[in-house]
Structure 1
């Protein structure tokens, strides 16, 4: 009987596989081309804005497709250089030098692999969404601020303060050809998504914006991308002195890249009905990708929501689409790198201003402010500190503020006085200790009291000791519940 059940299997399996292959290959092939066309200008723009050769951004996209795309973790999300890391990379290059970037990215990648192997990837989902939104909003603000200068054909100052102070001096350049090309890029990218003809709706707006603005820029003498030989740009990671600042940079890259990738995974999982992301495996995959990028001195990578959403919208069925997009990037950088020289820098700046505005997500900030002012305050605090200090400081302070806010929300405590009976309910923690002691001290001391704490669900050591000391000072107190011993 077993043999009879097994005999038809070989005859049915082959055609079934061919059917499944045929049903996924065409959609995946089409989706890979869409993702490639979205990824190409973004890879170049992020690299140029980060202060490294354009080719290195494409190399990171190739690794994100061919390596991370093949590894287990997520099915639909696409990895590569992200606008969210532009500010961090630019600051790192300015502080530690371009030669140290590979070592920092390598260290961050190895740390990501370790975190994934220790099964800590799922814990990134516990980070407060307000902190993540604040981090992205802060990055978006700094990105917009920095790209306003190349958008009008000027070089950006080195510090955030100088960028703010230099804004009025940009006014005379707003009527120049570079500013017109940058503005055209933003307008086309925005309007194409809203008003594109139905037959052309699948064509990425970013690609249309770059093509249209670059074609218009052919008539003007404006700064353009400098293209060199790829072999000259790739450098094997070198040695650098290990300093606290270098270690801090490694931790920052690992934290930000991991958080952005895993939050992207959560968002992409809501867009499709396929297999869900395995967060620990995805973190390992991102770490492997960053390790390889660090070894050759390329940009760091994360999973990128723009490319991932384009992949899903284009009808991708399997991870083959993201792998193939890496193949197309590799073919392009090998055969057609000189094509990049036709793109004006102002066009890429406009592309990144558009990306920065999307990271800012102003509508989401306003919606959060209407529903939860405390969460909105954490978001604003995180974003403000990122703009005024640096990414690591803003993110860590935001995380601390979120923890304090959560602890305050959890430690709800009510104190009710009814004659000679005081009833305490809720969570008695040190955050509510001043409130508790004020209410107890306000009870007249001329009668015996019954302090009922049976309704206290949790009491920390600070509250326990404070209540016991208060009862001992008062003397005539019957204590019921926690601390009664």
Structure 2
């Protein structure tokens, strides 16, 4: 059972007092963790932005522009508060190809058009459809881009310049290896060694040093060595911002430019949305569950990325996308709002304006080595294992190969085609086997039953002996009309020849054969449906002497209900009940509630066998210790607390309780029937309700509907007080190993209310708060 105690923070409206000064406008505040996280992300983004700009062949300032715009614009208007956007390695190949074909100014214009396309897609609210793309295709695309990046940057690492395609870069490696530039190779090797070893520094000192990003340390170390040693290597050369190239009108074939816009839109959108989903998972994995941080609004995130690309292209920057590496660093650093992302963009702006002399000292081989390592890491071993486990490695390999050999759009198209072929193959693949067991013919059907499998299904069915007992086990999630007709026609014929047919699911559960006459009846057959509405294909008994036959009919209903349990439910719970029979019961809750037939404890608590140790009586009463009465409640409390060691006790009352109504209507001259004698244990609740020493028990947000509801609520609070009088309960409460809860269930609303303050030692708030529906993760946390 799950009880989610609501936070006791009343939401009072802010009221302006008549003579108080006017409230000041709220200032923009930045949390300390956001400030520190922004600095950590900035230290990672600065060298990566320069390296990506170098890899594309664009002006180096364009990387800084894209990083600043990604932080400020996408950070402000995007739908993922903690995602960090900027120039992404996944766009390197696309951008480099566009620059070679159309030049830098036209590439900037294509970036603006791609941003406008993203804004249009966000208006159409199609962002979530991007998640329908197979992860094998996405990872294959990123892996292919990573291979292309690594091959291109390897030439710069060796002291040369890359070629225009991955194939040319691969074929040119033997000649390049024969003419290595030692200084460039040495700086690059130093950068790679620091990148790989820095995150693995041991000890307490290593833990402190690892707080500085490895990319910053690697580039800074390579710069210091190259400067102090006086090595002759090409370095960063940031021209004056006054000569920074801005976009021009697109020049080139319309189809080519349209393909470029489509490619930029596709890659930036899919990468950003998938990265945003990954950020949500990282935030949810925090110890606090990401409390206070909203989940990503995907359409807003797409709009934010579109706005950032429009601004970045207009200012002469690279295309912008959500970047996983920087986003992970932001979440890991403890960021709690979009202020960290925006501040990182501000630091980029300040560095681009004030640190140009320092940036000009950075060796280009160091940046190339940094981007090469990033490219290699894009071919993730974890992703390969995942797609292999899900039997999609062919899709991954085809997409990766297509991106490397042909291009991104072509590679993705090949991957989609192969993914469709694999899906069709799985849909058409059906395994049909036959065996004989205990004189019965067992026909196992594994996979989906479509028209493609009908010939084999028909052949297997007609090979079964006539008049035999047959069990058809269907282990699949889909059967089309052709397969259904084949199976139904054969079943009718087999039954006509004296045989029997039983159709089961993969667990052996019998699948009932539905007919038009009982579809409506089966539609109402639910575990909570009362017997008088629970015919399940059986016609209700209608006889003239119905009153005479009522006891017999009720008995038949009970027997019929038990029979339905044996048929439908017992096969599903038999294994769990067998485990409980072997291991014994270990319930975590003692649940004390009323005997009212409308109160179904397992239903309102979503509990199963072994969860609740339940005590039910008229009025959910707990007699005080020592009173002369039936000791069954006291015995149950002692057994639950001392023997079963339950962790909590819950007293659950309900609306319209007949016992409370009887208490209110009781008179001094009423005969002492067993019911009246029992209800005397509820008189303290009645006295509490009329007493002025106690606050009225009530439901948060409204007063009780009438005196009966008032007494029902008060009775829950009073019976909890009675529980505290029991020595085992008092002892466990003092030890802190037991908690008490009060619940009020409104039958007409099907709504539960939880008593606030029941974990306090001696007092309650006497306020019942509505229990809201919980998500699966929240429910698991609360329990």
TM-score, length-normalised on structure 2? 0.54
Question: Where do 1:134-145 residues align within 5 Å?
Answer: 134-145=140-151
C-alpha separation in 1, matches of 2:306 and 2:457: 53
5 Å-filtered alignment, 1:183-262, equals: 183-195=189-201, 197-218=206-227, 219-241=230-252, 243-262=254-273
Correspondences of 1:368-407 after superposition (within 5 Å): 368-369=387-388, 371-372=389-390, 374-407=391-424
Change beyond 3 A, Cα 1:436–1:37? same
Aligned residue number for residue 328 of structure 1: 347
1:178 aligns with: 184
Any idea what SS the aligned residue of 2:218 has?
helix
In the alignment, which residue of structure 2 is the partner of 1:351? Answer: 370
Change (3 A) 1:14 1:348: farther
Whether contact under 8 Å (1:415, 1:436) holds in the other structure is no
1:133 pairs with 2:122: no
Q: CA RMSD in A?
A: 3.8
1:4–1:137 distance in 2 versus 1, CA, 3 Å: closer
Deviations 1:459-482 (A, max 9, x none): 669x68x98xxx9xxxx999xx9x
Aligned-pair CA distance for 1:441? 7.1
Choose the corresponding residue for 2:69, options 44, 63, 66: 63
Q: Classify 1:4/1:441 alpha carbon distance in 2 versus 1 (closer, same or farther; 3 Å).
A: closer
Does the 8 Å CA contact 1:262/1:283 hold for their aligned counterparts? Answer: yes
Contact kept? 2:111, 2:261, Cα under 8 Å: yes
Question: For residues 424 and 29 of structure 1, what CA distance do their matches in structure 2 show?
Answer: 60
Instruction: Measure, in 1, the Cα distance between the counterparts of 2:130 and 2:372.
Output: 28
The 8 Å contact of residues 425 and 453 in structure 1, kept in 2 or not, is answered as no
Query: Given the alignment of the two structures, is residue 280 of structure 1 paired with residue 291 of structure 2, yes or no?
Result: no
Q: Given the two structures, how large is their TM-score scaled by the length of structure 1?
A: 0.84
Asked if the contact 1:237–1:295 (Cα under 8 Å) also holds between the matched residues in 2, the reply is: no
Deviation at 1:230, TM superposition (A): 1.9
User: Larger relative CO (CA 8 A, sep 6+): 1 or 2?
Assistant: 1
User: In the superposition, relative to structure 1, how do residues 4 and 192 fare at CA in structure 2: closer, same or farther (>3 Å)?
Assistant: closer
1:148 aligns with 2:165: no
Structure with bigger helix share is: 1
* Helix, strand or coil at the partner of 2:282: coil
**Distance in 2, Cα, partners of 1:41 & 1:50:** 15
Aligned length, in residue pairs: 466
Does structure 1 conserve the Cα–Cα contact (< 8 Å) formed by 2:105 and 2:245? no
CA distance in 2, matches of 1:109, 1:126: 22
Q: Give distance in 2, aligned partners of 1:97 and 1:181.
A: 31
Moved more, 24-33 or 271-280: 24-33
| Contact 1:425/1:457 (<8 A) preserved | no
| CA displacement, residues 400-423 of structure 1 (integer Å, 9 cap, x when unaligned) | 3223323433455455789xx999
Going from structure 1 to structure 2, the CA distance change for 1:224 and 1:413 (only over 3 Å counts) comes to same
Q: Deviations over 1:340-372 (max 9, x none)?
A: 221111001110011112111124314543x23
Residues 53, 416 of structure 1: alpha-carbon distance in 2 compared, 3 angstrom cutoff: same
Shift of 1:6: 3.7
- Give me the whole-angstrom Cα distance separating, in 1, the residues matched to 2:410 and 2:150: 20
Question: Deviation of residue 325 (structure 1)?
Answer: 1.0
Contact 2:305 2:320 in 1 (8 A): yes
Mark the CA change 1:321 to 1:178 in structure 2 (over 3 Å): closer, same or farther: same
Q: How many angstroms does 1:56 deviate by? A: 0.8
Q: Which residue of 1 aligns with 2:119?
A: 113
Would you say the 8 A contact 1:237–1:294 is kept in 2? no
Larger radius of gyration: 2
Match of 1:271, SS state, is helix
Is 2:88 aligned against 1:75? no
What is the distance in 2 between the residues matched to 1:247 and 1:197?
Answer: 50
Unpaired segments ≥5 residues, structure 2: 1-10, 284-289, 436-441, 496-512, 514-783
- Name the SS of the counterpart of 1:41 in structure 2: helix
SS of the aligned residue for 2:360 comes to: helix
392-401 or 132-141, which deviates more: 392-401
Q: Give the conservation status (yes or no) of the 8 Å contact 1:202–1:314.
A: no
Decide which of 43, 48, 57 is 2:49's aligned counterpart.
43
The verdict on how the C-alpha distance between 1:241 and 1:170 changes in structure 2, with shifts beyond 3 A counting, is closer
Match for residue 163 of structure 1? 169
Q: Is there any run of 5+ residues in structure 1 with no aligned partner, and where? A: none
Structure 2 residue aligned with 1:310? 329
